Every structure is written in structure tokens, then in C-alpha cells.
């Protein structure tokens, strides 16, 4: 048998042993889990008439998120992209700035930078975490940027580099303590894109709470969903107040006059989505346990595989295993695609990592570091079915 056929066979065998046969409909990559509680709370919300951006579920959801992440403030918004946009704007990213972004990320990370009128500046990944590599970043900035009056400038473009947006890929935390040091050294704000990492920790600290602020997403394919939704986490009281103000219409408190003191976003999450969020949040621990069981089964299943490995949480961290991932032992787009096609033909919805952001037409001319690790990962990674339902209630 050819090696690629052997790889296909071992890949399909593990999927089958962990997930069972796919039935009449394929096994999703990651599907939402909507139960009784979700129906109850959404119905109550509908019956109350408070379906829009004012209502009790919004504050309940925000308080629940703050408690869960041990963050002082959580501000719920319409989606994760909006959360990132508002977060970057609020920490002072200005039109014409550059913002450091991993090229291996979902396009929203870079789009949020563009929505600020800023330019994403792409950096490389750490092979151990799949996320931004702080040590490579330090080396890169030392050679390509300089501090002037406390502001970092790209020595080639002359533009200010104001922030860095690390992203915890598929739920696996990056080496955030090293990034905090690098950000201090180069006077960069950190806005953590924790869209994929609710329930992921570095030590005992929740991802999204290391920088000035962090953002979450509750899109339908994430660990918990509000239909569409996102949130901004911050421990800074003044920043939280500014974000809340801009998340609405920046209206000044007054009995009847409409006075607005800033160009604001109207990004607030509606109560009906927050009701769904409250129900999902009450089940998050169960989802996380089920996803961990699933990940452990995969890890075990792939130990004897010859041409691929299961990606496990980085040392010292806890991953939510949002999307389980295998990595080919060597980069091979041909094999990657053969495995994807074979799995999908057998009813297991797998997908490759995102095309690297610096290769997309709108970002082709953006500044970038050398990106060898991200290139390698892009040709090696496959996400495999990861829904909580497979092992829910089994611990």
C-alpha cells in the first residue's frame, strides 16, 4: 500500500473509533448544543418583550462571563469581530497605525485592525502553541522597529506600531507571559483575541485577561453560542466605561435630550441573544468536560499513527480543545487534502487551517515578518470533529 493510502486508513480508523460511524447526515466539525434551558430562557425573554439591547439577560450574561473568566468587566456585543474592532479602537489604535497580527488566524483578527483604519502587520507562529511566537517577535522588532518618544515605529514604513493581537489558536493558549514581556519592552498594547479560547487557561488565569483587554466570540461554531455574539474582557475600570459608552450610541445621561459626545458603534448584544448565552454559560463546564474526554480519546487514538500527531495543549496551560487538530509529521499539502477529502467522503467534516492572512488579496501588500513556521503549519494542520455532544454527560 502507498504511504498516503496507509495514512488515510489510519486517519479514518481513529475517527471511526472515537466518533463512531457517521449516520445519514455527516458528523459536523463543531455544532451548537441547544437544550431545554436554552428554550426556556429564550421563551421567557420573548414573553417579556425585552428583546432588544436593554434587558436583564444582558447584565446576567456579562456578570456570568466576568465571573467565569475572573475578569473585572465583561461587555457583551454583537459578534467577535465587533468586539475586536471596539477593543482596538478603545485602546488607542489609530488610522495609519500598524498592528501586529499572527498570519495563522481567522480573517476577523486582521479585518478588525482594518476597520480601525490601521494596517495588519503579519508575524509568525510558535510551532509548540500554533499561536504568535513572542521570541521570534522580539527578534523581529529589534531588527525592524525602533522606539521614539515611547512609541514604536516600523523602520521601513515609518508607521507607528501600536498594538499586538495574539490569538489562542483552536483554544490552545500561546506563551502569553513571554508576550507580556515583549509588549512591555516595545510599548505595545495587547488585545487578546480569545474568540476560540473560552475555558482555556495559562496556569490558573483565563485567556483574554492578560492584555489591556481581550475578546470572545459566541458564533454558532464556538464552544458556547449566542447565535451571533462576542464580548470584551478588561480589568481596567476607565476602559470598561469607555467601551460601554462606545458600544451604545455614546449618549450623555439626560431625561429627554439626545446628546451624544462621540462617534459610537451600536455594537450592543440584544437581550434575546444574551438569554441564549445565559443558558449556554450554565452548561459550559459540562461542554468543557465532554470536549476534554473527546480530546483524550483522539490523543490516545493517534499515538500509534505513523504520519500524523494529535495536537495537545501546550505545557503549563489548559486548552478548551475548541477544535481538535492533527498535524502531519511533515508539511504536505497533497496528503493534507487527500485526508480531508477522504474524511469528508466518509461523513467526518474536517477542514484545513485558514489560508494564511498575508496571502489573501486584501492583505497581500501588508507588512510582514518571515513566516516559515506558519507556512509549515498551514500545510500540516487538519481540524477534526470536535462537538461536545459526542461525550456529553459521560464523565
Q: Which is nearer to ligand PLP, 145 or 224 (CB)?
A: 224
Q: In terms of Cα–Cα distance, which of 5, 15, 1 is closest to 382?
A: 15
According to the binding rule CB under 6 A, does residue 196 interact with ligand PLP? yes
User: Which of 209-213's residues contact partners 24+ apart within 8 Å by CB, and which partners?
Assistant: 209/69, 209/70, 209/71, 209/233, 209/235, 210/176, 210/177, 210/179, 210/180, 211/166, 211/180, 211/183, 212/91, 212/236, 212/239, 213/87, 213/90, 213/91, 213/239, 213/243
Binding track, positions 148-187, relative to ligand PLP; x by CB under 6 A:
-------------------x--------------------
**Among 193, 209, 225, 343, which residue interacts with ligand PLP (rule: CB under 6 A)?**
193
Q: Which is nearer to ligand PLP, 154 or 386 (CB)?
A: 386
According to the binding rule CB under 6 A, does residue 195 interact with ligand PLP? yes
**Among 55, 80, 199, 211, which residue interacts with ligand PLP (rule: CB under 6 A)?**
80
According to the binding rule CB under 6 A, does residue 219 interact with ligand PLP? yes
| Beta strands 98-102; 119-123: pairing state | parallel
User: By CB under 6 A, what part of segment 258-317 binds ligand PLP?
Assistant: none
According to the binding rule CB under 6 A, does residue 136 interact with ligand PLP? no
Q: How many residues bind ligand PLP (CB under 6 A)?
A: 14
| Interface region with ligand PLP, contact rule CB under 6 A, candidates 69-77, 103-111, 243-251, 325-333 | 103-111
DSSP state of 157: T
User: By CB under 6 A, what part of segment 341-360 binds ligand PLP?
Assistant: none
According to the binding rule CB under 6 A, does residue 79 interact with ligand PLP? yes
Q: What is the CA radius of gyration of the chain?
A: 21
Give one DSSP letter per residue of 254-275, joined into a string.
-SS---B-S-----BPPHHHHH
Largest CA distance in the chain: 78
In the complex, the smallest distance separating the C-beta of residue 79 from ligand PLP, rounded to whole angstroms, is: 4
Question: Which residues here bind ligand PLP, judged by CB under 6 A?
Answer: 79-81, 105-106, 108-109, 167, 193, 195-196, 217, 219, 230
Amino acid at each position: 500500500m502507498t504511504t498516503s493510502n496507509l495514512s488515510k486508513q489510519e486517519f479514518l480508523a481513529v475517527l471511526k473509533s472515537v466518533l463512531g460511524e457517521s449516520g445519514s447526515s455527516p458528523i459536523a466539525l463543531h455544532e451548537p448544543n441547544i437544550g431545554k434551558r436554552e428554550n426556556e430562557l429564550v421563551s421567557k425573554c420573548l414573553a417579556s418583550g425585552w428583546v432588544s439591547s436593554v434587558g436583564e439577560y444582558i447584565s446576567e450574561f456579562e456578570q456570568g462571563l466576568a465571573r467565569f473568566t475572573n475578569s473585572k468587566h465583561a461587555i457583551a456585543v454583537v459578534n467577535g469581530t465587533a468586539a475586536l474592532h471596539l477593543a482596538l479602537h478603545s485602546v488607542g489604535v489609530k488610522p495609519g497605525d500598524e498592528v501586529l497580527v499572527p498570519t495563522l488566524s481567522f480573517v476577523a483578527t486582521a479585518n478588525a485592525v482594518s476597520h480601525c483604519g490601521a494596517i495588519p502587520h503579519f508575524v509568525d507562529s510558535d510551532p509548540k502553541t500554533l499561536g504568535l511566537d513572542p521570541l521570534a517577535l522580539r527578534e523581529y522588532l529589534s531588527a525592524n522597529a525602533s522606539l521614539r518618544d515611547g512609541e514604536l515605529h516600523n523602520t521601513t514604513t515609518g508607521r507607528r506600531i501600536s498594538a499586538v493581537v495574539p490569538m489562542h489558536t483552536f483554544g490552545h493558549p500561546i506563551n502569553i507571559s513571554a508576550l507580556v514581556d515583549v509588549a512591555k519592552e516595545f510599548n505595545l498594547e495587547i488585545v487578546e483575541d480569545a474568540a476560540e479560547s473560552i475555558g482555556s487557561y495559562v496556569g490558573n488565569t483565563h485567556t483574554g485577561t492578560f492584555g489591556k483587554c481581550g475578546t470572545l466570540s459566541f458564533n454558532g461554531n464556538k464552544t458556547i453560542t449566542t447565535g451571533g455574539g462576542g464580548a470584551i474582557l478588561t480589568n481596567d475600570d476607565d476602559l470598561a466605561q469607555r467601551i460601554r459608552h462606545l458600544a451604545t450610541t455614546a449618549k450623555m445621561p439626560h431625561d429627554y435630550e439626545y446628546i451624544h459626545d462621540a462617534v459610537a458603534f451600536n455594537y450592543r448584544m440584544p437581550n434575546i441573544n444574551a438569554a441564549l448565552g445565559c443558558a449556554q454559560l450554565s452548561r459550559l463546564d459540562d461542554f468543557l468536560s465532554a470536549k476534554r474526554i473527546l480530546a483524550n480519546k483522539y490523543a490516545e487514538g493517534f499515538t500509534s499513527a505513523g504520519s500524523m500527531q494529535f495536537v495537545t495543549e501546550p505545557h503549563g496551560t489548559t486548552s478548551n480543545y475548541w477544535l481538535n487538530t492533527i498535524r502531519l509529521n511533515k508539511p504536505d499539502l497533497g496528503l493534507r487534502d487527500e485526508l480531508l477529502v477522504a474524511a469528508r467522503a466518509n461523513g467526518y467534516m474536517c477542514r484545513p487551517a485558514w489560508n494564511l492572512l498575508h496571502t489573501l488579496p486584501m492583505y497581500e501588500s501588508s507588512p510582514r515578518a518571515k513566516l516559515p513556521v506558519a507556512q509549515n503549519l498551514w500545510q500540516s494542520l487538519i481540524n477534526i470533529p470536535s462537538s461536545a455532544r459526542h461525550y456529553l454527560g459521560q464523565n
